[in-house]
Amino acid sequence: MRLVLAGTGSAVGKTTIATGIMKALSSEYAVQPFKVGPDYIDPTYHTMATGNYSRNLDSFFMTDGQIRQGFERAMHLSRSNLGIIEGVRGLYEGISPIGDVGNTASIAKALDAPVILILNSRSLVKSAAAVVIGFKTLDPTIKIEGVILNQVKNRKHYLKTKEAVEKLAKTDVIGGIPRDDAIKVEDRHLGLVPAVERENIIHSIAKWGRMMEENIDLDALINIMKEADPLPGGRETLWKVQNKGKVKIGVAMDEIFTFYYRDNLDALEENNAQLVYFSPWKDEEVPDVDGVYIGGGYPEIFARELEANQKMRDSVLELHKNQRPIYAECGGLMYLTRSINGHNMCNVFNYPSCMMKKPQALSYVISKANTKNILADKGDIIKGHEFHYSRIDLGDAQPEFAFKILRGKGIMDGQDGLMSQNTVASYIHTHTAAYPEFALNFTTSAREL
**Domain 247-448: assigned CATH number:** 3.40.50.880
Local confidence band at 202 (pLDDT 50, 70, 90 cut-offs): confident
d(CA 274, CA 277): 10
pLDDT at 441 over 50: yes
* 3-class DSSP assignment, residue 317: helix
Local confidence band at 190 (pLDDT 50, 70, 90 cut-offs): very low
pLDDT for 243 equals: 79
* 3-class DSSP assignment, residue 325: coil
Q: Model pTM?
A: 0.94
pLDDT for 193 equals: 55
DSSP symbols for 188-231: ETTEEPPGGG-TTHHHHHHHHHHHHHHHB-HHHHHHHHHTSPPP
pLDDT for 203 equals: 86
Query: Distances from the Cα of 412 to the Cαs of 361, 377, 426, in angstroms?
Result: 11, 22, 11
Residues with catalytic annotation?
Answer: 330
Local confidence band at 91 (pLDDT 50, 70, 90 cut-offs): very high
Contact 91, 8 (CB under 8 A): yes
d(CA 5, CA 118): 7
Local confidence band at 194 (pLDDT 50, 70, 90 cut-offs): low
One-letter amino acid of 149 = L
pLDDT for 195 equals: 54
Question: Where are the domains positioned within the chain?
Answer: 2-226, 247-448
d(CA 129, CA 171): 9
Local confidence band at 253 (pLDDT 50, 70, 90 cut-offs): very high
Pick the CATH number of 2-226 from 3.20.20.300, 3.40.190.80, 3.10.450.200, 3.40.50.300: 3.40.50.300
Mean pLDDT of 73-102: 97
d(CA 123, CA 111): 34
Using the 8-state DSSP alphabet, how is residue 412 labeled?
Answer: B
d(CA 289, CA 446): 9
Based on the number of CB atoms within 10 Å of its own CB, is 281 exposed (0-12), middle (13-18) or buried (19 or more)? middle
269-322: per-residue pLDDT in tens? 999 999 999 999 999 999 999 999 999 999 999 999 999 999 999 999 999 999
Length of the chain: 449
Beta bridge partners of 430: 384
Query: Distances from the Cα of 27 to the Cαs of 13, 20, 182, 313, in angstroms?
Result: 22, 12, 21, 44
Based on the number of CB atoms within 10 Å of its own CB, is 184 exposed (0-12), middle (13-18) or buried (19 or more)? exposed
Q: What percent of the chain has pLDDT over 90?
A: 92
What spatial distance separates the first Cα and last Cα of the chain, rounded to whole Å? Answer: 45
**Mean of the per-residue pLDDT values for the chain?**
95
388-423: per-residue pLDDT in tens? 999 999 999 999 999 999 999 999 999 999 999 999
Nearest to 340 by CA among 377, 291, 300: 300
Contact 267, 251 (CB under 8 A): no
| Radius of gyration in angstroms for the set of CA atoms belonging to the chain, rounded to a whole number | 23
Tell me which of 192 and 6 has the higher pLDDT. 6
CA atoms within 13 A on the CB side of 245: 13
d(CA 409, CA 140): 36
Local confidence band at 188 (pLDDT 50, 70, 90 cut-offs): very low
One-letter amino acid of 110 = A
Asked which of 33-47, 51-65, 182-196 is least confident by mean pLDDT, the reply is 182-196
* 3-class DSSP assignment, residue 5: strand
Contact 384, 365 (CB under 8 A): yes
CA–CA–CA angle 416, 418, 424 (5° rounding): 105
Neighbouring residues of 390: CB distance < 8 A, sequence distance ≥ 6? 300, 334, 340, 353, 354, 355, 356, 360
Local confidence band at 180 (pLDDT 50, 70, 90 cut-offs): confident
Beta bridge partners of 388: 361
Q: What percent of the chain has pLDDT over 70?
A: 96
225-245: per-residue pLDDT in tens? 999 999 999 999 999 998 778
Q: For 350-383, give one letter per residue: b (16+ CB within 10 A) or e.
A: ebbbbbeeeebbebbbbbebbeebbbbeeebebb
Local confidence band at 187 (pLDDT 50, 70, 90 cut-offs): low
- Please give the backbone phi and psi of residue 326, each rounded to the nearest 5 degrees, phi first: -130, 125
pLDDT at 23 over 80: yes
Secondary structure element (H or E) that encloses residue 131, with its range: helix 126-138
Local confidence band at 340 (pLDDT 50, 70, 90 cut-offs): very high
Asked which of 118-127, 188-197, 279-288 is least confident by mean pLDDT, the reply is 188-197
Using the 8-state DSSP alphabet, how is residue 16 labeled?
Answer: H
pLDDT for 449 equals: 79
pLDDT at 385 over 70: yes
Asked which of 140-154, 170-184, 278-292, 400-414 is least confident by mean pLDDT, the reply is 170-184
